[in-house]
Chains A and B, each alone.
Chain A
């Protein structure tokens, strides 16, 4: 889940297992949600997004689930690989002043055990 302190929550997963990374958001008006992956020393990289009128979206080895009732978002990674080791951020956007601005969560560190 998302951290409220200085230390990132860490998820350790055995290679080949499935990973589930959770995110809680606070703005009920948010209508677009994105997951980003950030490898060490690099900028965030877009993984997958989902609109608020959907509750599930699948990509290649990744699935995002959205539960608007409890304002919860999750990212599922199938058959986790060492290359999936990174910090994962959820981000939300909401309409405002005619432009979208991304609000990022604090991130979860995924460590894959070979």
Chain B
């Protein structure tokens, strides 16, 4: 089983550039999430989608947008990258929003210079 697949695994952007991080899950999960992880810190929720067709802000949504393309796919877009967005980004999914057991992808390491 592939589980949660994120692309790309690594990316370097210049300040002001835009990019989209892709995430797909093959577990037929309803809920999907985007987190960022900074050194020495836990994961912080950027956006989540409780079910297909809905998205909501998490703890740190500024500078990001998301799209729940279908039940499988949930993308994260940086419209104008800033050095403060240098981080490791994780996508996760869970069977439903009320279940806390989330399955994570391998992460995307993003550097903004």
Contact = CB atoms under 8 A, between A and B. Distances in A.
Interface of A: 3, 5-8, 32, 34, 41-46, 49, 89, 91, 93, 97-107
B101 A5 contact: no
B106 interface: yes
Interface of B: 4, 31, 33, 39-45, 48, 50, 56, 58, 90, 92, 97-107
A106 B44 CA distance: 10
Nearest to A106: B42
A101 B4 CA distance: 18
B43 A7 contact: no
Given A6-B39, A89-B42, A102-B100, 12 more contacts: A6-B41, A42-B106, A42-B107, A43-B92, A44-B90, A49-B100, A49-B101, A93-B100, A99-B50, A100-B97, A102-B43, A104-B43
Contact of A91 (B50, B100, B107): B100
